[in-house]
Amino acid sequence: PFTVYNHKTGIYASRLPPPKVPLTSVYDFCLGNVSFDDAGAAITICSTGQTISYGQLKLRSQQFGLGLLTKAKLKPGDTILVALHSSIDFAVCVMAAQFAGLQVALANPDYARRELKHVYNLVKPKKVIIHSTHLGRAAAASIKTFTVVLTDTKLGRGGVLSIGELLADEASAKAAKSYMPGDLNTTAYLPSSSGTTGLPKAVQISHKNLVSMLSMNLNIPGYIPDALSGEQLRVLTFLPFFHAIGLVGQLHLVLKTRGQLFILRPFTPDSLCKAVPEHKINMIGMVPPALTKLMKHPGLSRDTFATVKNVRCGGAPLDAETEAKFLQLTGVEVKQGWGMTELTVAGLDASSGQQTPGSVGCLIPGTLAKVVDVSTREPVEPGQRGELLIKGDQVFRGYVSNPEETKASFTEDGFFRTGDIVTVDPRTGEFSIVDRLKELIKYQGYQVAPADLEGVLISHPKIAAAAVVGRYDKENGTELPCAFVELSVDAQQQQHLSKHALAEEIDQFVRSKVSHHKFLRGGIYFVDKVPVGASGKILRKDVRAMLKSLEQG
């Protein structure tokens, strides 16, 4: 087994040796060794071919970083909010801020006004970097302190500047030294969690967290495909850089390893199937809804994926059947990872285990875990369900402006309470995610994991996406699992299909695959779209709101 379990303490550890973590800042770790004349391509935009080299990225980052200090009058330790889509500018902005020693808060530029305002009020940034097309939204969220916007034209409005106006001259930028915090526990990033269970939380990620995280991942044999042939990493990304997976698992990982990152926006199965062979992609980062959409695309084949060595998937549950089918279609294994914004990005990874389909693998090097009973808080025996607790240098420092929640998230012995329910295979030491503690449906005393039922539902050929929530049945005093189903394009076009007959067919299908207590007794509803967040998660809180409005009207 890849996991060591101590029966006395209930602590699991990785059998892989912990990495040697350099004592340095995020900037120096990723770009410190790059020279200004390095012509190697760093980031390419798939749709336009626009590319920035490593040398240019470093120079631009230092010019803008120095400009943020000298022209925008920021000081190391100040917070800025970057609310941008994945782009070359995004990379320049965050690396510039890291060069200058700023704390970089991140937000989805497409956030609704309420969410944007929430994050803004939480992190209280000195400046906001936002694209000019999002200025209206920012103004609507009463954000007034944006001094920087991404546009090359002067807008002539008070306080609004373009990046071009803030660049320091080349010579000073090249001569300037990057900021090195005296204490590496200083905050580098303030990413927002996905906001799946409520409003997003701003999470404090230190330089040490991020440098440790990447070192841990790179210590997993075969985590990146270069181990196979020494070839350069060529990663396709369509996940947002403002979220942990895109930021750490893709942008910083690629910069650290001097690979090339290809940004595909927006993601469509068709554009992906074209981009992969065109750019000879060897690694792709996925989230489950994108993966299932891709698998229904006729263009997906072993040929399209001929150069791909590594497909990673995380952020939400993925079942064994889908993994097996993907392998059949493409000849490439999907390697799952599990993580949270609070863990910088990851805690468990399939590459660190024997890769049983459907499992999220084993602990990554340098990480400890416990699995505890949710009521007694005592460790459960391997094989039994419990809440996953994690300890390691990638664990965040706390939530911004929320000491109560921070305190409640840690046990007395310093483990972080993830809120996820897991089991550990006693033979292989591999972890499987059941669902979030808060999402479990209780049917007559049995626990039903919505994620499990959703996996079964999407394996039905007529279903494109599905979300399961509990519906309270007053008469019987219990929750009943009910499903919201988005039909596949094919099924939607078959006008003759009656909704009633379809619901019956789906119900029977589920009954043939799951045990008695998991049957969809709460009903099956058809919807145009199952709500999915930017980081690829089903927003069950929104689904519950849909259910409520159905029940009321």
Name the residue among 319, 314, 382, 311 with its Cα closest to residue 348: 314
217 touches ligand ATP (CB under 6 A): no
Pick between residue 173 and residue 424 the one whose CB is nearest to ligand ATP. Answer: 424
Cα-based angle 13, 6, 208 (whole degrees, multiple of 5): 30
255 neighbors 42 (Cβ within 8 angstroms): yes
Tell me the CA distances in angstroms from 345 to 136, 245, 505, 531, one per residue in order. 31, 6, 39, 23
Shortest Å distance, C-beta 342 to Mg ion: 7
Tell me, what DSSP letter sits at residue 466? E
289 binds ligand ATP (CB under 6 A): no
Residue 79 CB, shortest distance to Mg ion, in Å, is 22
Which residues, numbered 318-347, are part of the site for ligand ATP (CB under 6 A)? Answer: 336, 338-341
CB-nearer residue toward ligand ATP: 67 or 315: 315
* Selection from 464, 484, 526 nearest residue 501 by Cα: 526
Shortest Å, Cβ 338 to Mg ion = 12
Complex with ligand ATP: residue 10 or 455, whichever CB lies closer: 455
Taking CB under 6 A as the rule, does residue 432 contact ligand ATP?
no
Strand partners, 486: 465
Q: Is 511 helix (H, G, I), strand (E, B) or coil?
A: helix
Size of the site for Mg ion (CB under 5 A): 1
Which residue, 198 or 221, has its beta carbon nearer to ligand ATP?
198
Q: Pick one of 283, 360, 389, 422: the residue that binds ligand ATP (CB under 6 A).
A: 360
Window 502-521: residues binding ligand ATP (CB under 6 A):
none
Selected from 118, 391, 436, 540, the binder of ligand ATP by CB under 6 A is 436
Query: Residue 432, Cα to own-chain centre: how many angstroms?
Result: 18
Distance CA 390, CA 417 (A): 7
Least distance to Mg ion, CB of residue 119, Å: 15
CB of 319 to Mg ion, least distance (A): 21
10 Å CB burial of residue 160 (0-12, 13-18, 19+) is middle
By CB under 6 A, tell whether 292 contacts ligand ATP: no
Q: Which of residues 183-212 bind ligand ATP (CB under 6 A)?
A: 193-198, 200-201
Reference 484, options 498, 497, 461, 503; nearest CA is 503
* Contact present, 122 and 198 (Cβ < 8 Å): no
Q: What's the closest the beta carbon of residue 499 comes to ligand ATP, in angstroms?
A: 30
Spatial separation of the C-alpha atoms in residues 148 and 158, rounded to whole Å: 11
Residue 202's binding partner out of ligand ATP, Mg ion, none, with CB under 5 to 8 Å set by partner kind = none
Closest distance of CB 402 from Mg ion, Å:
13
Tokens representing 296?
A: 């229904």
Site for Mg ion in 171-230 (CB under 5 A): 193
Q: How far is CA 207 from CA 99, 181, 203, 368, 482, in A?
A: 12, 9, 13, 20, 44
Question: Which one of Mg ion, ligand ATP, none is in contact with 433 (Cβ closer than 5 to 8 A by kind)?
Answer: ligand ATP
Binding site for Mg ion (CB under 5 A): 193
Binding site for ligand ATP (CB under 6 A): 193-198, 200-201, 314-317, 336, 338-341, 360, 418-420, 433, 436, 535, 537
